[in-house]
Amino acid sequence: MESTDVINEIRGILPRNSIGKYDLLTIFTHKTVFDKIVKVLSLDFQNKVDYVAAPEAIGWILGTAIAKELGVGFIGVRKGDKLPY
């Protein structure tokens, strides 16, 4: 699976709003494309990491999927001003 193929699929899905930003949550509604994204992003890290760390919100969704694909733990990273304590 080539990353360029996945990028082209993503471009076909993502709606673009008037200020030039993309709604990345749309990707998660397309199971096949989401699975491909996770596999492509995981390829270079197989058997090389013990954890996946990702920033909160969308990063947690993608990060946990990548961690599961790699069979490793996940560390959620929070913004300093959003700590639960």
Q: Is the pLDDT of residue 12 over 60?
A: yes
Tell me the CATH number at 15. Answer: 3.40.50.2020
What does the pLDDT look like over 29-55, one tens digit per residue? 889 989 999 999 999 999 999 999 999
Q: Beta strands of the chain (E only): which ranges?
A: 51-55, 73-77
CA 77 to chain centre: 14
Task: Look at the chain and report how many structural domains it folds into.
Answer: 1
Query: The domain containing residue 44 runs over which residues?
Result: 3-82
pLDDT classification of 18: cutoffs 50, 70, 90: low
Among 3-7, 8-12, 14-18, 56-60, where is mean pLDDT lowest?
Answer: 14-18
